[in-house]
C-alpha cells in the first residue's frame, strides 16, 4: 500500500474490510437459503450461480484488504461472530436481501473511494462498485423487476 502511514487511508481500508466481512457472511447465508429453490434453468438457479461467483470475488477482495493492512503494520479488525441477515423460505425476499447487499457494497466503496490514495486500492474499489452494481441488477431481475427498473441510468 502506498502512503502506508496515511491514517485516513488505513481507516478507509479497515472500514472496507469490515464491509467485506459482512458481505461475505451475507452472501453465504443468502445463497444457502436460496439454493433449495434453485431449479436448473430458472432465474433463481442463475441467481445462486451469480451469488457463488460474487462470494468468491468478495473473499479475494477481503484477503487483499487484510494484506494491505498487514503491509502497513496496521491492526486488522476481527469479523463479528454473526451479522444480521434475512431468514426466509421465500425466494423473492432472499433475492431482495441479496440485492440490498449489492447496494450496501456500492455505497460503502463509493464512500471509501475518496480516502484511498493507493492506485491499486482505488482500482479495486472501483471494480467493487462495478461488480456490485452488476450483481444487484442481476438479483433484482431474478426477483422479477424489468432491466430498466433494476438498473436505472441514474441510480439514486
For the domain spanning 7-77+86-146, the CATH number is 1.20.1260.10
Residue 155: what pLDDT? 55
Domain spans in the chain, listed from the N-terminal domain onward:
7-77+86-146
Residue 151: what pLDDT? 79
Q: Is residue 147 pLDDT above 90, yes or no?
A: no
Q: Which residues contact 141 (CB under 8 A, 6 or more apart)?
A: 43, 147, 150
Nine-digit cell string for 6: 496515511
> Mean pLDDT across the stretch 24-45?
94
Name the residue with higher pLDDT: 119 or 156: 119
Nine-digit cell string for 86: 434475512
pLDDT tens track for 51-68? 999 999 999 999 999 999
Residue 148: what pLDDT? 82
Q: Look at residue 79 and give its three-state secondary structure.
A: coil
Amino acid at each position: 500500500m502506498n502512503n502506508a502511514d496515511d491514517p485516513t487511508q488505513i481507516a478507509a481500508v479497515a472500514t472496507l474490510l469490515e464491509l467485506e466481512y459482512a458481505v461475505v457472511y451475507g452472501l453465504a447465508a443468502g445463497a444457502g437459503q436460496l439454493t433449495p429453490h434453485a431449479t436448473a434453468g430458472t432465474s433463481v438457479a442463475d441467481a445462486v450461480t451469480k451469488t457463488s461467483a460474487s462470494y468468491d470475488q468478495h473473499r479475494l477482495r477481503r484477503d487483499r484488504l487484510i494484506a494491505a493492512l498487514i503491509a502497513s503494520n496496521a491492526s486488522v479488525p476481527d469479523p463479528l461472530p454473526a451479522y444480521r441477515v434475512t431468514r426466509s423460505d421465500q425466494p423473492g425476499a432472499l433475492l431482495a436481501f441479496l440485492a440490498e447487499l449489492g447496494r450496501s457494497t456500492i455505497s460503502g466503496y463509493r464512500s471509501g473511494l475518496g480516502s484511498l490514495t493507493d492506485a491499486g486500492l482505488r482500482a479495486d474499489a472501483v471494480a467493487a462498485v462495478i461488480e456490485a452494481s452488476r450483481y444487484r441488477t442481476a438479483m433484482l431481475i431474478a426477483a422479477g423487476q424489468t432491466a430498466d427498473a433494476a438498473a436505472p441510468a441514474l441510480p439514486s
